[in-house]
Amino acid sequence: MSSTTPVQNLEKPTFYGRYLLLIAGLGGLLYGIDVGIISGALPHLDATSGYTQAQLSMVVAAVLLGTVLSSLFAGALADLFGRKSIMIVSALLFVASIPIICLSSSIGMLVAGRLLQGISGGLIGVVIPLYLAECLSAKTRGKGTGLFQLLLTVGIVAAAILGRYYASHVESVENMPGSTPELIFAARDSAWRNIFWASIIPGIAFFAGAFFVTESPRWLFRRNKKDAALRALMKGNGEQAGRATFAEMEQAEAQAKTVSSVQKVKDSLLRRKYVIPFLIAVVILACNQATGINSVLGYAVNIFNQGGLVGRIGNDADVLLKAVNCIMTVVAVALVDRKGRKFLLKVGTGGIIIALVCAGFLFRHIETSRENVTSAVVPMVDKAGNTLVIDLASPATREALKPGLGGDTQILVSYSYGNYKNVAFVSTAFKDKVLRVAPPKPKDLEDSVIGAFFRKLHLNPFAKAIGADTAPLVITKASYGAQPSATTGWLVAACFIVFIAAFASGPGVCVWLALSELMPTRIRSNGMSIALLINQFVSATIAAIFLPVVGAVGYSTMFFVWAGFTVIYFCTAAFVMPETKGRTLEEIEEHFEGKRKLS
């Protein structure tokens, strides 16, 4: 590398550079909508479609299937057709999926539309970070990728707001004087369709905007379209910075051409310059999910309820949690190019460890104060051996569980029907104080093509329920004790607010950077596909085992395990991962070749 003026000192923001950030942000918004849109629509779809629970699980799982499949091939497609082309295709698939879903009159059309959404999301998740890494300057690359994550969280929140708005509308129709079942049905039917229709707007904006971005300069350069690559660099980064980056790319190419033919033969994908950055990226992505982030966001209300915040207060704490997620993502976007990736990752993972350990000790206190009442609960199973009802409002029931225990109480029951495992929880602080356990209905256990696919990958928790309707109820464990105080509940909530703040300000943003920046050019697209697939596998595995593990060993053990994986994450970020702030992709690649030392 020649001793020229550093590229980052030559950079000046351009209008096109800002436009590029906007389009990337819209990609993140669509990814977030893909993830979150079904939660608000599903209750209304369930109430009006007449589909079985197995069919509805297909609707939910179709997105995951589409994402897994497209993530696997997204890198190869982006290499073959170009990053811009795949961006346009991903937007087109998303836009096309909406009318298929909203106008569907059969389960086949509905699943097909959701499958297209998943394929779109998988392509976006790989190609947008890849495109940003190859287009943006070293100075703005962190901000651009952070904006993708920010708009992703905004997409999830926007989907939740849409769901809440239409739920309120349906409720107002239900409470309207003179309301009829036909009116309520029509309101519910239009609610889930309108939720999806509303999401088409950012899809159209992303589709139209993607036509006006340039192709990735690195992709053009590798295909010997050097004039186009230079124009793309100058358009996005300014003339001086663009020419300086282009000179680095030419110098890297010239150095590669000087390698002897014998050395070229030895340039296999097993060399350290490919293996080490790939492994670092895989560890970071796997540990990113192993922090438990998705389970925390998905089960926050359950966690708060058992921690001491019941009813609406638990939901309020959940809303606060998601608001903190968005706010701290904004902070991370502002800091990532100033403080660097390593700094944010160390601070973020350190905060997660502290939050999880504290939450673990709080729940260990809650769980050890409960008494094992399995022997008292087993006789409460009905004579048929498949149903359990526990009414905590009944003095006789409370006396049977633990004589003399006053005040509000709670019970957690871990149970199974064959291979299907779950937990049930209720507290006397709830409006409904009755715990009910019943086997899934036969119609809920129908298999499907999608279910079979995920069962082979050990990713489908629904498939494990097949045959559960004829299996006897087995009470694995029942724990009973005093309801924790609201003070304890808010301490638990504070732990997870710290958790979310730490995650959003570090791993939430930097994980996309690690995925795109660390990979050398030769393996970047396919390496990102494989790493993202591993990331999704870890996420799906944690989601599938979360409730059974909590029922068997408690939340505290799960939190401590997550903290352990986060320690690995912290050590990787602090001692193995190089600082890539302000470095071009060519400089980062030279570091792993041993030609340059990065801090």
Structure tokens at 155: 């997409």
- CA distances from residue 12 to 32, 133, 160, 215, 529 in whole angstroms, order as listed: 30, 17, 38, 20, 32
* Nearest alpha-carbon partner for 112 in 587, 460, 449: 449
* Residue 476 and residue 382 share a domain: yes
What is the SS3 assignment for 488?
helix
CA distance 121 to 70: 8
| 45 domain residue, yes or no | yes
* Residue 53 and residue 148 share a domain: yes
CA distance 404 to 480: 13
* Residue 247 and residue 175 share a domain: yes
Task: Domain of residue 462: give its range.
Answer: 370-485
* Residue 576 and residue 429 share a domain: no
* Residue 56 near residue 42, CB atoms below 8 Å: yes
What is the maximum alpha-carbon separation in the chain?
86
Using the structure block, give the residue that is written with the tokens 């073959």: 80
CA distance 244 to 260: 27
* Residue 329 and residue 293 share a domain: yes
Would strands 434-437 and 388-391 be described as parallel, antiparallel, or unpaired?
Answer: antiparallel
Cβ atoms < 10 Å from Cβ of 442: 13
| 442 domain residue, yes or no | yes
Q: Which of 468, 485, 502 is the last residue of a domain?
A: 485
Residue 31: CATH number of its domain:
1.20.1250.20
| 273 domain residue, yes or no | no
Task: Give the amino acid at 577.
Answer: M
CA angle 385, 387, 390 (to 5 degrees): 120
* Counted domains in the chain: 3
pTM of the prediction? 0.74
Position 242 scores a pLDDT of: 82
Position 259 scores a pLDDT of: 56
* Residue 299 and residue 234 share a domain: no
* Residue 338 near residue 517, CB atoms below 8 Å: no
Contacts of residue 118, Cβ cutoff 8 Å, sequence gap at least 6:
34, 62, 63, 64, 65, 66, 67, 68, 69, 70
Sequential pLDDT tens for the chain (599 residues): 444 444 444 455 568 878 888 888 888 888 888 777 777 787 788 788 877 766 776 787 778 778 878 888 888 898 899 999 999 999 999 999 999 999 988 888 998 998 899 899 889 888 888 888 788 777 777 777 777 778 887 887 787 778 778 888 888 888 888 888 889 889 889 988 998 998 899 899 999 999 999 998 989 988 899 899 889 888 877 788 888 888 888 887 777 666 544 454 445 556 777 788 888 888 888 899 899 987 887 778 788 888 888 766 766 777 788 788 888 888 888 888 788 888 999 999 999 999 999 999 999 999 999 999 999 999 999 988 889 999 999 999 998 998 888 888 999 999 988 877 788 888 888 888 999 998 865 544 444 444 444 444 444 444 455 667 788 999 999 999 999 998 999 999 999 999 999 999 889 888 777 777 777 777 777 777 787 777 777 876 777 677 778 888 889 999 999 999 999 999 999 998 888 787 777 777 777 776 777 66
| 272 domain residue, yes or no | no
| 217 domain residue, yes or no | yes
268 burial level (CB within 10 Å; 0-12, 13-18, 19+):
exposed
Count of positions (residues) in the chain: 599
* Residue 296 and residue 215 share a domain: no
| 267 domain residue, yes or no | no
Position 260 scores a pLDDT of: 45
Q: Which of 428, 458, 485 is the last residue of a domain?
A: 485
CA angle 575, 502, 163 (to 5 degrees): 135
- CA distances from residue 405 to 216, 410, 425, 462, 554 in whole angstroms, order as listed: 67, 11, 18, 38, 22
Q: Which long-range contacts (CB under 8 A, 24 or more apart) does 18-21 make?
A: 19/209, 19/212, 19/213, 20/132, 20/135, 20/136, 20/144, 20/213, 20/236, 21/140, 21/143, 21/144, 21/147
* Residue 563 and residue 462 share a domain: no
* Residue 171 and residue 122 share a domain: yes
* Nearest alpha-carbon partner for 122 in 196, 65, 84: 65
Q: Which of 227, 259, 291 is the last residue of a domain?
A: 259
Position 474 scores a pLDDT of: 93
* Residue 297 and residue 240 share a domain: no
52 burial level (CB within 10 Å; 0-12, 13-18, 19+):
middle
CA distance 411 to 373: 9
| 265 domain residue, yes or no | no
* Residue 409 and residue 317 share a domain: no
* Residue 459 and residue 506 share a domain: no
